[in-house]
Structure 1
Amino acid sequence: MLTPQDPELTTIQPIPQEAFDWYDEYAHGLMDRRTFMKKLSTLVVAGFSMTMLASALTPNYALAEQVSFNDPEIKAEYQTFPSLQGHGEGRGYLVTPANLTAKAPVVLVIHENRGLNPYIEDVARRLAKAGFIAFAPDILHTLGGYPGNDDEGRKMQSSMDKAKIEQDFIAAALFLKEHPSSNGKLGAVGFCFGGYIVNMLAATIPGSIDAAVPFYGTPAAKALRKNIKAPLMLQFAELDQRVNDTWPEYEQDLKSQNVNYIAHIYPKTNHGFHNDSTARYDEENAELAWQRSIDFFNKYLI
């Protein structure tokens, strides 16, 4: 099976943009699987095999490990936390710098719409390597946790009560801020659905969030946006029309409330460009966006 980084996919026969667009619609519940597969089949006539397309569009998490789970510079474990307004109990992946000698800033890491997959766990480890205490909750905990594949994870997450999901992440944020080694400063970073949750947290618990970095996330409900106090760094993909269409109104609301924000739109990138497990990954822009995120957290959390 071809992987997203194979030359045959990336140089000889680049995957057409419409395939990425269809996948985005499918992944976010705007297209059912049957319709998605039917649309993909039209590209077979153009010389692409279904194996080739599926390999490019679905994640290969072996590609996404930048920091090993047993890296000696970090300590990783799973912890539960109470969520009385949500599903009763939450669980997440806690990663701390191994030789922590002083209080450190904490960062909540929020997954996409499919549970806590290996890519998001790796993001938490990357933050710990950069000196932060990172916590990545798994919203699927009460259903048994991330099932090991994204399609099943999406189905599980879509079956859950949205209001309780939001309460679980609020509980996770407050739990993390009170970590014994926390310096009292809380950041949040999230991707896709997680980007929405970051925007929601900034608007819902403004007194607790000190810096927020949503990657290609839609905004919180309009009535809540007036509450935002934390500085925001918003990361967008140029080709992500679905999310980008929400930005002009959101930006006007941020301006009207004098929110400290900066927005970056990365050229020729797709939704999910930071996720290094699929062909949507754009290494140059992903590394730039990530370094900007780390610098932003260093500025506002230390």
Structure 2
Amino acid sequence: MTPPTPHLESDVLSLLPRGGPHPGATRRTALKAVLGAGYAAAALPIAAQTVVNTPADGLTVGEVTVAVNGVGVPVYRAAPAGRTGLPVVLVLSEIFGVHDYIADTARRFARAGYLALAPELFVRQGDAQGYGEMAKLIAEVISQVPDAQVAADLDACIDWAAAHGGDANRVAVTGFCWGGRQTWLYSAHQPRVKAGVAWYGRLVGQTGPLTPVNPLDVAARLHAPVLGLYGGADTGIPLDTVAQMEAALAQGSAAARASRIVVYPDAPHAFHADYRSSYRQGPAEDGWRRCLAWLAQHGVA
């Protein structure tokens, strides 16, 4: 197995799933386990059992389609049933797409009173849940996703939310691993975003035509304050890059200066991902409380 590109390799750490596949799993949730030279006994965590299971009663949940430049982007939507004028939160997945854990996270936001939208941001490049080999997933799908495409899809999600019960004046973005990186970037791109929460998103890495900047490069021009949640034992995101980010934020816009980074000293990468062996209950629960408080503090509640 070839190594992943630098800004993606933190997404393939700690991938051993917790438990086995759900009974009656569909094709999109079927476990696709592989053995690879770089990730012995690792598995694409599509159907691993989660620790947190959020019920859908009282919620409107399911897939909707958001049109973006002629492409129908599937989006998992979760919201309190029968309510309008809801604050909006965009939930950005890891490299594995919108699988059970991401959908569950959207439902957690819905139970907190949000219209949560989790878009399939890789849909043009391929089915992230249709791969059984990590190297192919990264090479054929993830590395082919332009940052500009992600931003356009998220812009369209905000427009869709505004027309379907959401308040476009109260928008937040949060993301995990790959989605954590995009959270920083989107908070610098979209002025309608009021707050962001980036869970262990890589801050530096290789750039190129599709990924021209790193979060560190845009830190000074954030439109929205971002709360960064990181693990001190994350071997894919060195703490010196976290320190660089903090220094850049301190010299930036008002939103940048209002941003904060919390490091959980003993937590590994993906400590919130409760379907992985990397899950750490204490940091995960504390991070979730901080996430909700951050959104409320910045007017997205």
Residue of 166, 171, 177 corresponding to 1:192: 177
* In structure 2, C-alpha distance between the alignment counterparts of 1:174 and 1:233, rounded to whole Å: 20
CA 251–185 in structure 1, closer or farther in 2 if over 3 Å, else same = same
* In structure 1, C-alpha distance between the alignment counterparts of 2:202 and 2:163, rounded to whole Å: 29
Residue of 76, 97, 111 corresponding to 2:61: 76
**What is the CA distance between 1:172 and its match in structure 2?**
4.0
- DSSP-derived class of the 1:200 partner: helix
* In structure 2, C-alpha distance between the alignment counterparts of 1:115 and 1:58, rounded to whole Å: 10
Query: Where does residue 228 of structure 2 map in the other structure?
Result: 234
**What is the CA distance between 1:247 and its match in structure 2?**
1.5
CA 59–143 in structure 1, closer or farther in 2 if over 3 Å, else same = closer
**What is the CA distance between 1:72 and its match in structure 2?**
1.4
Query: Where does residue 76 of structure 2 map in the other structure?
Result: 93
Contact 2:11 2:177 in 1 (8 A): no
CA 255–170 in structure 1, closer or farther in 2 if over 3 Å, else same = same
CA 234–97 in structure 1, closer or farther in 2 if over 3 Å, else same = same
Q: Pick the structure with more helix per residue.
A: 1
What per-residue deviation string (whole Å, max 9, x for no partner) do you get for residues 228-253 of structure 1? 13121110011114323422222111
Percentage of pairs with the same residue:
22
* In structure 2, C-alpha distance between the alignment counterparts of 1:119 and 1:155, rounded to whole Å: 23
TM-score, with structure 1 as normaliser:
0.74
Query: Where does residue 126 of structure 1 map in the other structure?
Result: 108
* In structure 2, C-alpha distance between the alignment counterparts of 1:287 and 1:149, rounded to whole Å: 30
* Larger RCO: 1 or 2 (CA < 8 Å, sep 6+): 2
Alignment map for 1:45-56 (pairs within 5 Å): 54=42
Q: CA RMSD in A?
A: 2.9
What per-residue deviation string (whole Å, max 9, x for no partner) do you get for residues 51-102 of structure 1? xx547x956532255113xx21211121222323xx83322101111242x4
* In structure 2, C-alpha distance between the alignment counterparts of 1:88 and 1:228, rounded to whole Å: 29
Contact 2:177 2:200 in 1 (8 A): yes
Contact 2:175 2:182 in 1 (8 A): yes
Residue identity in the other structure for 2:178:
F
CA 202–249 in structure 1, closer or farther in 2 if over 3 Å, else same = same
Q: How many residues align?
A: 256
Residue identity in the other structure for 1:231:
P
Residue of 193, 197, 201 corresponding to 1:209: 193
Contact 1:139 1:157 in 2 (8 A): no
CA 159–192 in structure 1, closer or farther in 2 if over 3 Å, else same = closer
Contact 2:47 2:100 in 1 (8 A): no
**What is the CA distance between 1:298 and its match in structure 2?**
2.0
Consecutive unaligned residues in structure 2, runs of 5 or more = 1-7, 14-34, 204-213
Query: Where does residue 35 of structure 1 map in the other structure?
Result: 37
CA 208–173 in structure 1, closer or farther in 2 if over 3 Å, else same = farther
Alignment map for 1:41-190 (pairs within 5 Å): 54=42, 61-68=48-55, 71-84=56-69, 88-100=71-83, 102-142=84-124, 145-147=127-129, 151=134, 154=138, 156-158=140-142, 160-176=144-160, 178-183=162-167, 184-190=169-175
**What is the CA distance between 1:27 and its match in structure 2?**
1.9
Contact 2:216 2:244 in 1 (8 A): no
TM-score, with structure 2 as normaliser:
0.75
* In structure 2, C-alpha distance between the alignment counterparts of 1:149 and 1:283, rounded to whole Å: 29
1:253 correspondence with 2:248: yes
- DSSP-derived class of the 1:242 partner: coil
**What is the CA distance between 1:218 and its match in structure 2?**
2.4
- DSSP-derived class of the 1:276 partner: coil
* In structure 2, C-alpha distance between the alignment counterparts of 1:82 and 1:265, rounded to whole Å: 38
CA 156–179 in structure 1, closer or farther in 2 if over 3 Å, else same = farther
CA 226–159 in structure 1, closer or farther in 2 if over 3 Å, else same = closer
